[in-house]
Structure 1
Amino acid sequence: MNLASPFSISLVVITALALLGLPIGLAMLCGSILYLFMAGLDMGTVAEQFLNGMYSNYVILAVPLFILAAEIMNSGSMTERLLRFCNVLVGRFRGGLAQVNIVQSIIFAGMSGSAIADAAGSGRMMQNMMTREGRYTPSYAAALTAVTAVVGPIIPPSIPLVLYALVSDASIGYLFLAGVMPGLLMSVLQMGQVAWTARRNNFPVEEAVPLREIPRITWRAFPALMMPVILLGCIYTGVTTPTEAAALAAFYALVISVGLYRSLSAKEAYNALLISTKTSASIGMLIAGSLVFNYVVTIENIPNTLRMLLIDWELTPIQFLIMVNVVLLLLGCVLEGTAILLIIVPVFVPTAQALGIDLVHFGVVVVVNIMLGLVTPPYGLLLFIMTNISGAPVKDIIRDCMPFLFWMFVCLGLITFFPEIVLWLPRMAGYGA
């Protein structure tokens, strides 16, 4: 690569601006504009790519709607009712409250689609419950909350899978189905680790919920539990598109919180809308920057060049997937996941297609890699979020994360080498038929 070429200079500018603290979306826009100027291309292309990309991709609308649904859920009493229901299921076992943390992440995974929303919402409540009266150390509770929140964007609905569909043109419905088994597998491995640690460290046993209370607790949580059933049922029966289902999820959360539970005040609704708007705007700016930068990458023919290079290396599909895993895991240590998904992954997609790798399988492998980056030092965004919530030193949280990270890497290896784990449910629904 010519280090004085417009593309090289634009990369340097993007990296420098990002290191100086400019949001990566704005950094990509600045670098891309500089490239177009140096290459003598039409500067109006920036606006053209931005408008065409944002307005022609209906799927992008699902992102702010899923974020809004999660915020409404966390602002109302849905979270509290679901936690009580989870306690009925697994709270009576040794280390039961830690198991509740995992089970609630599975349930919330079917609602929010965001790891950060899960950690900041139900995760904050779990942190308080686990550390009350010294049941668990703050660092262990924070570590467990961080690693369980990772499951959220793997089990549908999933904002990262929506963004992957945006850059790969893979089916969102089948991607959602493909995430179910890997997410459940990861949760089962986490529960096994908690059970082993509970016996070893003599974790407390929570007071069993009286049998007479179980029907009442289940009934109070039932409307909230129906949310993922309605959401996914509408998608897979063809009643709604995934984007329309996201709107339905936000509307359902609002109706249940206001009309049935009567737990959402006007002020809380406004705050939920405000937080959702800010979060969506930051993601939207990142998408806008990536759309323009991906146009630059296309002009430079980078995806095709990389595809031809890897074909010349005669990599097998498994070797390619291993290489992608290593690259994404390393990038996940220093970069934010959405940036990886929108900038790096589009470069790999053509090669994956050329090697005959199923794009639905590839998408789940990519998203699991990116989710692992959220709890992998030194960047680990969830680690820093839980440090702020718990007050525990980040080094202690990282220490307590390590046993869970081992099993999460095992899960990544299994879905990489055994695609049927990922593709079984989509094929049951007719994928590839």
Structure 2
Amino acid sequence: MSIPFASALAIITALAFLGLPMGIAMIAGSVLYLLMRGQDMGIVAEQLLNGMYSNYIMLAVPLFILAAEIMNSGTMSERLLKWCDALVGRFRGGLAQVNVLQSIVFAGMSGSAIADAAGSGKMMQFMMTKDGKYTPSYAAALTAATAVIGPIIPPSIPMVLYALVADTSIGYLFLAGVFPGLLMAGAMMVLIAVTARRKNFPVEPPVPLRQLPRMTWHALPVLMMPVVLMYGIYGGVTTPTEAAAVAAFYALIVSLVIYRSVGARDLYGSVLTSAKTTASIGMLIAGALVFNYVVTIENIPRSLSMLLLSWDLDPLTFLIAVNILLLLLGCVLEGTTILLVIVPVLIPTAQALGIDMVHFGVVVVVNIMLGLITPPYGLLLFIMTRIANVPMRALVADTLPYLGMLVGALILFTFVPETVLWLPRLFGYQGATP
């Protein structure tokens, strides 16, 4: 490691600990590196422009964010919750099961765990804690755990970013996330059922089955959104980026025309919030693009790849090491940072070992999502402590059983690649060749 690169890392680490946004810290460290190497500062602007404006795929990120904000500002999320309650609310621990079910459906719309927790998660927190049915910490922990499903079941913003850094098909990545996401949701529902009997969770008044068709009709525009998106992508009608635009437009039409639940002020607030979120993600991507150029100049990916290959690791051992590394990094780093800075360094080794890039992408995204509920940094944990106003210690204690269940699912996906790849193969995916 050269002195300029070590100095750049030191500056990035120091600025990040001082509270500066990670994207700006990476740009500052990269500028210092170029100065110490005597290179032209115009390289920074060149990397930003080439990276930010030559990747059509990146347009999907702000569009999916806007779609989620529009849904949250109207009644789409509320109607979805009522429909989920009619289906599974009648069982013991029914509201907890509703929490999982709404995350599955909401996952097909927003692509963001944060949007899930901050949107429908707020309503679930209120519903579960009303009249003391569930403790606030349990409700918050379950909401955080179920929100993890969001970016695994398509569409998925983290998968879009992974496709950007790994040059992998977004369509096949989206397909690969369907079964793992549903399996994780199923595992949580089983754990809820067991816990409900042990802790004697309440049973909700059952909604008469004769009312289910009417409630389904009222929620149909919401339920059709994932269908429209998936048909557009896999029917060859739209690219994934165009599907993100369709998602935002569809949410707008449903909220404005069908439900009439969004006014001009609500729409302005959704656009403003989306712009702020997009700007923060965009700055992080910009910093990663510049810093990745520095990493490339230092030949870090190739050097690391040669080092790991010299250890004669087999693909499974490498994947286990990646899981451990990403889970540990998830305790202290934000997921997008890991995806844009750490993962590109690991990709050359994965390719050299013949690991399928779609399988690797799902393993990476699941790891990053688990980092959202892994103490001490877990971003979803911080969000739910603010929403539920509960101590972090109580929230973590109630989250750990679900985190353990999800880690078990991650182990399955790692050791059995076909759990991830069988659905893409049905649609013609050939996979990597060693």
Q: How far has the Cα of 1:215 moved from its partner?
A: 1.2
Alignment match, 2:419: 421
2:156 maps to which residue?
A: 158
- 1:14-413 aligned within 5 A: 14-413=12-411
| C-alpha distance in structure 2 between counterparts of 1:237 and 1:44, whole Å | 43
How far apart, CA to CA, are the structure 2 residues paired with 1:185 and 1:56?
36
Which consecutive unaligned segments of at least 5 residues does structure 2 have?
A: none
TM-score of the superposition, structure 1-length normalised? 0.99
Deviation of 1:398 after TM superposition, in Å, equals 0.4
Q: Deviations over 1:2-21 (max 9, x none)?
A: 5xx10000000000000000
How many residue pairs get aligned? The number is 431
Moved more, 158-167 or 203-212: 203-212
Distance in 2 (CA, whole Å) between partners of 1:368 and 1:99 is 21
Once the two structures are superposed, residues 234-278 of structure 1 have per-residue CA deviations (whole angstroms, 9 ceiling, x without a partner) of 001111000000000000000000000000011111000000000
**Residue identity opposite 1:17 in structure 2:** L
Measured on the aligned residues, the alpha-carbon RMSD in Å equals 0.6
Task: With the length of structure 2 as denominator, give the TM-score of the two structures.
Answer: 0.99
Q: 1:320-369 CA distances to partner (integer Å, 9 max, x unpaired)?
A: 00010011000000000000000000000010000000000000000000
CA distance in 2, matches of 1:316, 1:349: 15
**Per-residue CA shift, 1:191-224, capped at 9, x if unaligned?**
0110000000000000000122111110000011
Amino-acid identity (%): 71
- In 2, the alpha carbon distance for the partners of 1:45 and 1:37 equals 11
Residues 124-179 of structure 1 deviation map (CA, whole Å, 9 limit, x = unaligned):
00000000000000000000000000000000000000000000001000000000
| Local SS of the residue matching 2:308 | helix
- Looking at structure 2, the residues matched to 150 and 170 of structure 1 have their Cα atoms a distance apart, in angstroms, of 22
CA–CA separation in structure 2 for the residues paired with 1:270 and 1:213? 35
Provide the C-alpha distance between the structure 1 equivalents of 2:373 and 2:205, rounded to a whole number of angstroms: 31
Counterpart of 1:42 in 2: which secondary structure? coil
Secondary structure at 2:110 match in 1? coil
CA distance in 2, matches of 1:424, 1:42: 48
Report runs of 4+ in structure 1 exceeding 4 Å deviation: none
Shift of 1:41: 1.1
What amino acid maps onto 2:133 in structure 1?
Answer: R
How many angstroms does 1:51 deviate by? 0.2
Name the CA distance, whole Å, in 2 between partners of 1:305 and 1:42: 25
1:105 maps to amino acid: S
Whole-angstrom distance in 2 between the partners of 1:65 and 1:206: 37
The residue identity in structure 1 corresponding to 2:49 is: L
Quote the Cα distance in structure 2 between the aligned partners of 1:80 and 1:200. Answer: 30
CA distance in 1, matches of 2:319, 2:115: 29
Q: In structure 2, how many angstroms separate the alpha carbons of the residues matched to 1:32 and 1:263?
A: 46
Which runs of 5 or more structure 1 residues have no equivalent in the other structure? none
Quote the Cα distance in structure 1 between the aligned partners of 2:200 and 2:212.
Answer: 27
Equivalent position SS for 1:179: helix
SS in 1 for 2:109: coil
Q: Letter of the 2:73 partner, please give it.
A: S
